[in-house]
Amino acid sequence: MATPVSDAEFEKEVLQSDKPVLVDFWAEWCGPCQSLMPLVEELSNEMGDKVKVVKINIDESPEAPTKYGVRGIPTLMIFKDGNVADTKVGGMSKTQLTEWAQSQIG
């Protein structure tokens, strides 16, 4: 299950994680975000042993999205060792999401 994370928890939960982290930047009012959310949850359930999945509501926690240049949502980023490894912006299918995550995580 994707874990909600706030700006206050971002460093500990994402940057200091001992495994790769997929971060879903989203908002309540964003239709494509709502469509992508169940796919992110499925990915979390399927790949939870290889990747930590977190979600950040950009309205409640604006610091991390600003710091990492999030301009449109949904934005997905994979962090490895505290750094952004790759970014995807916009909606995607379950297959596209899975293939992208696997290519970045291994």
Instruction: Name the β-bridge partners of 14.
Output: none
Report whether 79 contacts 14 (CB < 8 A). Answer: yes
Q: Is 33 a catalytic residue?
A: yes
Catalytic residue among 30, 39, 54, 56: 30
Which residues lie below 8 Å from residue 11, measured CB to CB, with a gap of 6+? none
Unique residue bearing structure tokens 């874990």: 3
Q: Rounded to 5 degrees, what angle do the CA atoms 48, 38, 78 make?
A: 50
Measured distance CA(87)–CA(13) in Å, rounded? 18
The radius of gyration computed from the CA coordinates of the chain, to the nearest angstrom, equals 12
Q: Is 88 a catalytic residue?
A: no
Catalytic residue among 23, 33, 36, 56: 33
Active-site residue numbers?
Answer: 30, 33
